[in-house]
Structure 1
Amino acid sequence: MFELSVLNAFKTVGSFIFYQDTLVFMIGPDNTGKRLGIMRLGGHIEKDESLLQALEREIKEEGAVEVSLFNAPNTFYKANWADTNYCDISNKLQWDIKPLIITGDNSRSTAVFLSHTEEEPKPSSEAHGLIFLKEDDIRYICTKKLHLIDFLNSGGKLIQQKELDLNMEIYAGVHLSFLNKLMEDDNNLIHSYFTGSLPK
């Protein structure tokens, strides 16, 4: 259940970044070294930084790009990423720019925004690479097995900073899984994002 105290406990922040007709994510080996995980750009909020200052810094550090934020028409909340249930808390936020989702509790929380850029993101030395996913790519990765080589052979886009094993399987982390859940629930927001019809 959402409590307003969650809004005072932000430790991390991130963004789903729209570039042309794709969403941009970081990609790299998971803790086992046997699969390639996908996650949003973003990271920890440093002392004396606001949520949006931290987001701007992290995206520049990881993607070498500046973004413009969408004011998400809906802000969803879930207690943790593993929770399949979420609720709309839009009416509880009096923010000028609202994130797409907030997760966590009153000791630690995170917000993920929607953003877009006209400039192609490039991976920093911190990242193994950036992967550019279309709407159907997200659905496929979340429901079937997909290896990086097959993604590339089908026309998928990847910019590597460090060498990746092309034969490794790509798997959906918590961020992709949430986006896919929204699409499965017939929420038109993500489709609007991909088609460029979401108001900026």
Structure 2
Amino acid sequence: MYGGSWAGPSQTDGWEFIAKEDLSVIQLGLFDGHDRGGFTQPHEIGLWDDTGNLLVSATIDSGEIVPLVGNFRMVGVPTTQLRVGQTYVIGAFMPGVVTDYVYGLDSYNASFYGLRIDPRVQFVQMRQSVADALAFPASTGVRDIFGMFGPGFVVEVPEPRTLSLVVLSILLLTTVKNCNQGAKEKESKNFGKIK
């Protein structure tokens, strides 16, 4: 495993992926490999389509202001739809001289460290750009680096609404049926009475 970008110039590091199903992105974030103290610099995270259109971005403040989710510091963003079969790029801006870093893995280390990528996305390749601000990482290759990992995102998990509606419908039908049955029994008792 290599520390990507360490002590380098300002750059955006990230990775390209294909959505394997429709996804709703609700948070963007960055891996925090520090033992404590958070990031030494603020970082802007961006999510682009494959033509370089910025879909959503967020800033991760320095320090520990942004809470950890696992080992990632995540911030909420407006819900952003990713469509099945479409290609996207996520990247994190690392202001130079870079003191925080992303992880660059070669193919050997990716398998050695057990790199796992969510099955809802297909990893394509690393991405990088050298620029003084967050920029679409157009470059696709640096030596033997398999991927530049650090920026990430959280997707909304759909509620099982259909199941909830089915259960609610069954309860409602059972209640209506019981009410109707009770009314019929009351009615039949009234008919059987002699006055």
Give the TM-score taking structure 2 as reference length. Answer: 0.23
Which protein has the larger Cα radius of gyration, Structure 1 or Structure 2? 2
| Larger strand percent | 2
Q: Which has the larger helix fraction?
A: 1
